[in-house]
Structure 1
Amino acid sequence: MKFDMGRAWSEATALLGANKELLAVIAGIFIFLPNLALAMLVPDMMQGPAEVDPENPMATMQAFYAENGIWFFLLAIVQAVGSLSLIAMLHDRRPTVGEAIRTGLVTLLPYLAAQLIVVLGLAIVLGVPVGLAAGVGGAALGVIVGLIAAIALIYIMVKVSLVSPEMVLGGTLNPIAALRNSWRLTKGNSLRLFAFYLLLGIGVAVVAMVIGMVSGLFVAMLGQNTAGLLIGGALNGVLAAIWSVLIVCVIAAVYKQLSGPSTEAVSETFE
């Protein structure tokens, strides 16, 4: 089946419109509130580390993330559950919020296992050749191999982009099987999917930059006090929630288009 970008966007907006209230509830719990809490727990997150060593800024950033890594890790886990629960809300059998959250919790470990497999695989397949090229052939060869690896990375990420809906909507909790099915579903559509994701990403990035500037302005005006952190954290949380809901609806629409109608959808057609 050839992927249709226009149809995917139309179906994504339809999914969003039909489920906006319930999606907002889950996004508020798992995306907005955790981001707001993180802004209060890690005040420097809004403006970066207060003191940056001009001679070694990378070391400063590494120290910052090492010191606050546990909070970013917990946020990532909570948001993963939230994203999986959001996808579950878009199932054709129309689950309740509680059922969707339970699905998200059940799917979390298999989903993390699939992500770990991808990361380890990329480190071996792409990371090792880049390291060898840089070590043996010098910086020039390392850059060339690195560019090839970057293209391969983008291709692979497109191929595995449907793992989460395959697990949640397709019911495939085996990480290997979910990765294999995502690869199969995207066959022949990788370039179209990349173009679709790229256009979506550009649009979101522009909006994020604008909101980020507004958020930074509020924090700068109010300072690192409670009011500034609340406003900045709330704006970041809203942006993260909107982005999460949008990307979930898009991924679900892409998956439904490429996988075909579910049993529930077919049954409703003949009722």
Structure 2
Amino acid sequence: MSFAIASIGLNSQTSIDNNLRIISHAVNEAAQAGAKLIVLPENACAMGRQDELAIRFDEICQFYQTLAQKQQIHLVAGTLPCPNRPDGSKVGGGRFRQTSLMIDPAGNIKARYDKIHLFRAMVNDSTGRYDESQTFEAGDEVVIANCMIDGVAVNVGMMICFDVRFPALAQQLRQQGADILTVPAAFTQRTGQAHWQLLLQARALDSQCMVIGSAQGGMHHIGSRVRETWGHSLIADANGQVVATTGEMTGEYQIVYANYTPSEQRQIRQNLPIFDCHRLS
């Protein structure tokens, strides 16, 4: 048995409502093509303007829940800035949690993951200095969504963007039973060109999981600023091989597809049982 996966790349701008319209079209197209697990990128609903987006958190959760139910899919809803921690307490200090949701075909939120590793770097681009800790509070919980997708029991380990640089997280997800890792992202053009594909393939090899990278791509106009992201949404199998990828972002969205076949992944793990040989964790 197997099921189809879709990774959607977006060129989100600052208009939340227009981005929601584009997301609806893209998810509908992927579902009509047969995808049962669909992954959206980081900041899918807006690049910038996180305060405005956080105010609409509950409304947009409902939008995603309705969309998943209508299309009868499992949906990894990119990321949303959430003003509350998982226990319901307020983050405070004008900051949020960067949250990724897994939503099932009944419209239920199966899992919530809050980004653990917050991006901090100097990049040779028009932004220069990035520090997500100014906007977000780091999460502290490793999350796996236990799903039944098109008759296949599958455990989905959830990551977000900068998380992909940390092999220990991917390995811990595998040790807790993950079969697939999802990576909604908005890599800068410079860091993405240098590292995006390498990191996705490396985490697939580290964990022997299929890795789904869904990325923002192209130019994003945020007030008077312009930010450029790398795009190139990509799916790598448990052997670290690229099975699907987009090229340069053209238009409002791009979609790539792959099939997840549990028997093939089990064979990869049996042929090279690295987690039976692991000694340092």
Normalising by structure 1, what TM-score? Answer: 0.28
More helix by share: 1
Under a length normalisation based on structure 2, what TM-score does the superposition of the two structures give? Answer: 0.27
Higher strand share: 2
